[in-house]
Amino acid sequence: MAQDEIRDQRIKKIEILKSRNIEPYGRRYEKTKTEDIGEQGEVKTAGRIIALRKHGGACFADIIDTEGKIQLYFKKNIIGEELYEIFKEIDIGDIIGVEGEIFKTKTGEKTIFVKNFKVLSKSLNPLPEKWHGLKDIEIRFRKRYLDLLINKEVREKFIKRTKIIQFIREYLNNMDFIEVETPMMHPIPGGAEAKPFITYHNTLEMNLYLRIAPELYLKRLLVGNFEKIYEINRSFRNEGISTLHNPEFTMLELYSAYGDYEEMMEITEKLLTNLVNFLYKSSTITYQDKEINFSLPWEKITYDDVFKKVGIENWHDINSVKEKIKEFNLEVEEEKENNLFELLDLIFSKKIQPQFINPTFIIDYPEEISPLAKSKKDNEEITERFELFIGGLEVANAYSELNDPIEQLKRFQEKAKGDEEKIDFDYIEALEYGMPPAGGLGIGIDRLVMLLTDSPSIREVIFFPLLRPKK
């Protein structure tokens, strides 16, 4: 039967229910969670019907809630003629509340012998065919509510995401970090290199930008005498969509006054090893058939040495880098073919990064691509910065924060190339009041959840990923 026909039939059933003074869309209902139902006694619970098996004057049904599934048994001579007639208008997909007594069937299945029930929500559309599971990726992401409803493992993945974020909060709170909130609309986009989303404020008659990172506002709080802070934030970047990128994403950013990038490494190692042990009671996980060992110590390798791994002895030499690009048969976009760091990033992402399966810190990045990081004491061209790679994915970025306002302005001006409107002078003024030396850390929550739930795509761990409109 076509879906439209099924829907028309169910609308008629709604009219029948209303004619019998039954609300097809009910009200508050106190229920026991399925996992809390004992082995005997009276019980009152509710859930969605996922199976119906009728046998004359009796019927078995299965309902589910967030916690699990339980079987129901309806008998005409127990619930009475009137209620049984109402039950005839019930379909798979409907949500009902039931009261009854627990017993076990001959096969040992825990079952509720229903004595009373109530319609709580009438489903107009049939569930995906035969409850075999929703497999179509396009439908799963566009209709996440069905994906969650049908696929238990998807629900469990998002519950695990929640537990990961809760653990991070508790862990940092126990380290005396304070959770803060900073603006999501910025007059000047900053804190990262990315293309922003632009919006407009009517009253102030000005453009605003959805934040690409909360960094500059969090560091203003360091100036304001907050010493250990973090924000689990939503950020937005008006860039491509892929298995690793969604325009709207979640990050953890934290700052510790009087610290540096070495402290950030220690925090990262302890946070993630404790998180993995909390989730799996082990220091080893499997991601996309690759075993990842989180045991300490984690490997550290300098930016210089990374490129030596693929035969680039001097990454400053763009000609040798171009030769390596040709050797690897890598395609380069025309506007990037003379940009040294774009070429290096291409080689790194395609030929080096996938090798970093166990947690690996790449440290000491060039100043040219680290405008907010403090330079090393013995070499101003190199910064105290690291990026963390696990399972071939970039998971974290951190550095000793640049707190010299004169140097910071100089770097902003170099990046702006004469466009003064791109410079956040208010942030520079804040630095001029004095920001303590500090370490800062950013962890991509979505990618971390990907790793810890063995998910191949970022869309698998975001409830409602952005998709192209359906034609």
| Separation CA 455–CA 461 (nearest Å) | 7
Residue 134 pLDDT: 62
The model's pTM? 0.93
Q: Which residue has the tokens 């359906």?
A: 470
Q: 111: domain CATH number? A: 2.40.50.140
Domain count, the chain: 2
Beta-sheet strands, E only, within 28-132: 42-55, 58-64, 69-75, 95-104, 110-121
- Residue 11: strand, helix, or coil: helix
Range of the structural domain that residue 101 is part of? 3-127
Q: Which residue has the tokens 């962890």?
A: 443
173/266 same-domain check: yes
Domain boundary (94, 127, 160) is at 127
Cα Rg of the chain, angstroms: 29
Q: Which residues contact 272 (CB under 8 A, 6 or more apart)?
A: 294, 359, 448
Beta-sheet strands, E only, within 314-383: 360-363, 375-376, 379-383
Considering the domain boundaries, does residue 322 fall inside one? no
Instruction: State pLDDT tens for residues 365-412.
Output: 999 999 999 999 999 999 999 999 999 999 999 999 999 999 999 999
Instruction: State pLDDT tens for residues 169-227.
Output: 999 999 999 999 999 999 999 988 899 999 999 999 999 999 999 999 999 999 999 99
Ranges in the chain, pLDDT < 70: 129-135
Residue 320 pLDDT: 94
Residue 133 pLDDT: 54
272/162 same-domain check: yes
Query: Structure tokens of 371?
Result: 């405008």
123/206 same-domain check: no
H or E element, residue 408: helix 405-416
176/229 same-domain check: yes
Residue 139 pLDDT: 83
Q: 417: domain CATH number? A: 3.30.930.10
Residue 37 pLDDT: 87
Nearest Cα neighbor of 90 from 148, 39, 16 is 16
